[in-house]
Chains A and B, each alone.
Chain A
Amino acid sequence: MTVSARAPLDPLGTADAVTRRRRLRPVTPVPWRRPLALTGLAVIGAWVVVAIFAPLIAPDNPLAQKFTILAGPSAANWFGTDELGRDVFSRVLFGARITLPLAVILIVSAMIIGAVLGGIAGFFGGWVDNVIMRLADLVFAFPGIILALAIAAALGPQLRNAVIAVVFVSWPSYARLVRSLVLSARSAQYVVASRLLGSSGLRVLFVDIRPNAAGPVLVLAALDIGNAVLLLSGLSFLGLGAQPPTAEWGAMVAEGAQNFNDWWVGLFPGLAILTVVLAFNFIGDSLRDMLDPRTARAMRV
């Protein structure tokens, strides 16, 4: 018994429902009020610049073994030298060229595979849904490192195989998310309305469901990319990822573990990993705060 007027010909509010769907929430984040997100973006931006321009910025060739071995930080070698006499600073800079692109490739692959499988599972239901979800459960049952370890070891210690292993471990979260989004969207008002207005199944999937699913999936990706970097460098630390003499941060920390007296060998690569992951997590956290309706509402007050 409310007083606000309702057009008498639209008792279910169908027109409202369809209009609501079209007023899509902007997916691009608006970070200028959030210092954490800005810091994160700045740091990632800096690393991207480093990755692109490393050959120009780095003082030395990362593979060149021309300095005294295991020398501490000095004017010539800001981060010191490692056990083969290479400049650690240059190696850290070049490491960005491996970690950053691979992390992105990794997450995008996991996202696509997971989203496709999850979408199929949610949309078609039945035994397809069951099979895919059981598979996801199985993968979930293993803590990430151990499964990634087994796969990487089985396929051979190579950076490419480490990436495959981490993708294999990561896709289930996306599948589960997309599946639940598809399931709840299927019965949502705006989808029902759309179908009542004559849209076909596929059109519903792409036009109605996908834009509203994109947000949560992107938030998950942003939160996950940090973990991907940790897993990837973890595998390299164990010797199952990047192989010598490649300058990859995880492998460099492993070298630092061999020579723990010489603290600079392991410290700086680890700091690099930390800053990258922290920055990604800042961004992911802010994205989530912005796009999650509940938290967003709480902040507007």
Chain B
Amino acid sequence: MSSASVTEPAVPRPRTGARHRDLRRFLLQRLGTGVVLLIGITLVAFVVTHLVPGDPAAANLGQRAIGDPAAVAAFRHQYGLDRPLPVQYVVYLKNLLHGNLGISEQSHRPVLTDLAEYIPASIELALFAIVLSTVVGVGLGVIAAVFSNRWPDNVIRVVSLAGVSMPIFWVALVAFYLLFFKLGWLPGGGRLDPTQNPPTHLTGLFTVDAAVHGQWALFWSALRHLVLPGLVLAIYTVGVLTRFTRASMLEIMGNDYVRAARLKGLPERVVILRHVLRPALVSIITVAGVAFGNLLSGTVLVENIFSWPGIGQYAYHSAINLDLPAIMGVSLFVALVYIVVNLVVDLLYGVIDPRIRLS
């Protein structure tokens, strides 16, 4: 070694075992934060739903409550409404740990059962929408960045801006009217045709279940039914992802190392995909993760119009009827999704960006 390297520190050597250990520690940390967040969510949900100025009993029993004090008392006792709030909360938490989310006041079934029935429909819809949005959104964003300030960029920018400006419930209505009612190109509601039975149950996602069991007619039907609500849901997210991808890529393209790649004489395609898009993916996945959460909330506005039996409709009816256990069940589910998505995103970070892995 020459004297030139004496003044400079040696290269740190990450041993391969250390990398796995780092990743594991990272995940555990995230998991821990997630659990804390979950508890926080239950607290928030609990507090919010008990903000009700009125009496949940009155709201749920309706007319009968007014005339029958015994029914009211029974109701209050059943749900522990006659005990102090903190105790109610502890009772609730204890039940949770046993997998008991309470009984829904609308369906009179365990909330867990309700959730199990409605969740897969929304998951299928959200997954369809997110895959569609990501492919289209990132693709358009890359095109916009590459053709920055020329006509393809300008067109894409206006289109994506329009996408995030549209009220999703209105788009649903317009799409329903045009593509189903007037043109008849796509089915207008439900997950399958009224005469069809669902495929053999595996995941609850009809497309997956049908494909796995080779029930192709059902597969195509389920897919066709997914298109309209999925497209509507995807519009906003495509807009968001396009704008974000474009901005991310433009920012990266201003960096020295991109110019350095061109100076090396590499073809433009390599420069864009390997040197610009890859680092941009880190922030793009974050946004996609957030977008997934937003898609779930979008279902509240869209499922109604397309008669989609999912969590969105369930959340809406629960909120309207002040079905406390159901509301808390939905909130918990949403928080859980948020935590899982964050974990997945964090994992992907580590794969794509070595800086994060090594810090």
**Touching in the complex, A and B, CB below 8 A?**
yes
CB neighbours of A142 from chain B (8 A): 41, 331, 334-335, 338
Asked whether, in the complex, the Cβ of A137 is within 8 Å of the Cβ of B173, the reply is no
B51, B174, B322: the one within 8 Å of A270 (CB): B174
Q: Does B6 contact A (CB under 8 A)?
A: no
Chain A residues with CB below 8 A from B174, complex form: 266-267, 270
A105-142 contacts to B, CB under 8 A, are 134, 137-138, 141-142
Given contacts A154-B52, A154-B322, A260-B177, contact A266 B170 (CB under 8 A): yes
Contact between chains at B48 and A141 (CB < 8 Å): no
A277 to chain B: which residues have CB within 8 Å?
165-167
Decide yes or no whether B320 CB sits under 8 A from chain A.
yes
Q: Are B167 and A250 in contact (CB under 8 A)?
A: yes
Contact A257 B305 (CB under 8 A): yes
Known contacts being A143-B293, A257-B305, A260-B181, is A156 close to B164, with CB within 8 Å? no
> How many whole Å from A161's CB to the nearest CB in chain B?
10
Within 8 A of B (CB), among A231-266: 233-234, 237-240, 250, 253-254, 256-257, 260-261, 263, 266
Within 8 A of A (CB), among B225-255: 250-251, 254
Chain B contacts with A in 296-333, Cβ cutoff 8 A = 296-298, 300-301, 304-305, 315-316, 319-320, 322, 327, 330-331
Partner of A153, one of B37, B164, B319: B319
Residue B161 interfacial (CB < 8 Å): yes
Residue B60 lies at the interface, judged by CB distance under 8 Å to chain A: no
A278 contacts partner chain B, Cβ-Cβ < 8 Å: yes
- Whose C-beta in chain B lies nearest to the C-beta of A165? B48
In the complex, which range does the number of interface residues on chain B fall in? 35 or more
Q: Does the CB pair A233–B167 fall under 8 Å?
A: yes
The distance in angstroms between the C-alpha atoms of A26 and B275, with both chains bound, is 36
A294 pairs with B335, CB closer than 8 A: no
In the complex, what residues of B have CB within 8 A of residue A230's CB?
167-168
Contact of A237 with B254 in the complex, beta carbons under 8 Å: no
What B residues does A278 contact at CB under 8 A? Answer: 161-162, 165
Q: Is the interface of A mostly helix, strand, loop or mixed?
A: helix
**CB of B40 within 8 Å of the partner chain:** yes
Contacts of B206 in A (CB 8 A): none
- A146 lies within 8 A of B334 (CB): yes
Cα A142 to Cα B315 in complex, Å, equals 13
Q: Which A residues are in CB contact (< 8 Å) with B49?
A: 150, 154
Check B170 against A273 for contact (C-beta < 8 Å).
Answer: yes
Q: How far is the CB of A154 from chain B (nearest CB, A)?
A: 5
Closest residue of A by beta carbon distance from B47: A154
Point out the residue from A138, A146, A270 that lies within 8 Å of B167, measured CB to CB: A270
Contact A146 B330 (CB under 8 A): yes
Please indicate the chain A residues that have their CB under 8 angstroms from the CB of B169 in the complex: 234, 237, 250, 253-254, 257
Q: Give Cα A298–Cα B45 distance, bound, in whole angstroms.
A: 46
Q: Which chain A residues have a beta carbon within 8 Å of chain B's beta carbons? A: 134, 137-138, 141-147, 149-156, 226, 230, 233-234, 237-240, 250, 253-254, 256-257, 260-261, 263, 266-267, 269-270, 273-274, 277-278, 281-282, 285, 294, 298
Name B's A-contacting residues (CB within 8 A): 37, 40-41, 44-45, 48-49, 51-54, 161-162, 164-171, 173-174, 176-177, 181, 250-251, 254, 293-294, 296-298, 300-301, 304-305, 315-316, 319-320, 322, 327, 330-331, 334-335, 338
Given contacts A234-B167, A260-B177, A267-B174, 10 further A-B contacts (CB under 8 A): A142-B338, A143-B296, A143-B297, A146-B331, A156-B54, A274-B165, A274-B170, A277-B166, A281-B161, A294-B251
- Supply 25 A–B pairs (Cβ within 8 Å), ascending by A: A138-B41, A141-B338, A142-B331, A142-B334, A145-B298, A146-B297, A146-B300, A146-B315, A146-B334, A149-B315, A150-B48, A153-B327, A154-B49, A155-B51, A226-B164, A237-B169, A237-B301, A253-B170, A257-B173, A273-B170, A274-B170, A281-B161, A282-B161, A294-B254, A298-B254
